Structure 1
């Protein structure tokens, strides 16, 4: 409605100005035409009087819409009573005067017989101007009504798809995120808007579903250690001789540590989701890799760090260290006997990786393992204390630094887990 009102207002102003200009122009043209005709007639009369071809009697005998008065020393000769009222203009140019209640154009010229004054009524010109003004006063509002109706219909039809989009989006709630906005396939602005809305709804749907799965999985993961501690406590209470306090303490400490790992992982993922990007400080991935090599050797495991090369990046050293440690822990968990670390800068990208000689990861599962609470070997992962969040943290840390994490085949026969980031040139 506002668009229609604005359009009608703009057109109304344009039509109003145009109507006034048209009326004024018409009036000026008609008056100029009357003055021109009267000047020609005066010239003919004056010439005839001077030449003697037009006698005074002929002037008096004129019976038309032109008033003629010959003002001679002997008196005034007129063709009508009102002609005697014609004033003598002070200039040679046509002037306007009111004679007998009407507007006249008056001109005068000197002859041998005296001053000839002629006048013509402007009544016809004024009537024509008034008629045009009345017609415009009727036509302009009708045109505005017609234009407003057309604009209202056209705008209404053009915005109808937008209103349908609004109604559909308004009807979508948390229980119907799979619904989409209808598209026409026309490729116009409204159709592109609908496609954009559908993509946005798809992202919202994916995000909500992922969050729901995450909450469900987190609840399940936290329930398991709680259930274990409760069952062991109930067993100890019901059969005091079946367990010792040390055994109960070991179970509580073990399951508590597992819960602590899950909660810490959830908090880290939540912070990464909230902030999106990490602090940018100079970090050497090769230093982090060497530190992990020393840690693994201290645990008595076989590790090779010969492939570690200088790999500077900009980021958060604590987060990157956590991500690399998760990759190393994952490698040790699945390796048969040894792991290897390496780092390099290639084509502006810094990469650090962990190889293992385990069973590897099938190509169909290489993306899924980076999802939260995903374990390819469920039983072994739980026994080894894995929370199912380690690789998810790796990918989120990588993406917070403008990089990514991915899996390839390892020269050792197992899997190569790669953390790839933009290299620093500082």
Structure 2
């Protein structure tokens, strides 16, 4: 049973209950309590004997006829003081009792009626009330009939609603599945609905939106690749021209300038490579999976550190790798690229020491990288993962970087179903925590 139908069910039952109470209150207000009318019909025999037989007797025979009725009927008839009757009758029916009318007590299966209003039956008869008890009053069948009637009405309403909501819910679930797959990067997926479905207009809008987003992303991808490849051509020409210039000109005064030009060309090359890598991670979807395999995490981290000795040589690296790290299903190149970016980043800002810690829990592997540098302000800790965003102190060429390294790192970790967060370290520097699920997504 779906949530949509449950909500309709609750709404319909609440509406029927409110309607029932409103109908009962309206009928009672304008025509009197319908249960009293039913009870009065059921007690009509005793009422008829009282009004047509006992009340027709003269003052001398009134009590005699009342006693005869007591003998022939199963009801128990008693004479009680008016004050006692007023105490037992509800306030809404006090006036009815004082007018000498029959007052029905449905719950007590009885009725009250004054003997008379002027004391004509016997002395003090205007101060006494006939209390008829144990009457054949039973409103349960009537209540059951009314309940059955409302149940039938509810079923007649709920069955069509159930059929409609079931179809509608299946359509919504199909749209939810399409939205989840599209959000996961499967840009080719589309909602398949019939024109007769109630959600058909919504599905069409979603399909149009998906087509537009796919086209925009494809255009962005093509533009990135085109620009990157177009940049590589003049870069290659510059490298070739610099090599010719170096061979042709042996002037020592030009050597520093040519080295600076070569550094610029290398920087452009690195920027193009970073852009291409970022574009590949942006386009990572169901049709372009990363190459996952079982890797020994401890060995991979050690190899990654060994490959960065030229960067880490001037700093003290403290490695604490748990002995039970074991294997992990991941793209080794992509994952180690993320760790490498963090190590390079730590080497730029550390005052001397870097910590690399890895441990395993029941469901995740946690890799922690920390340095004792100036740290990252709390307000900047989320923005540093944005492409081309750099802190003010890293804008100069000495610290370098294009603001793409951490963006690539986050995307690489997300491609493995993991998360990366940055905190203040124990020694005041930056503390990056990578959490990876043991089972690759």
Normalising by structure 1, report the TM-score.
Answer: 0.44
More strand by share: 1
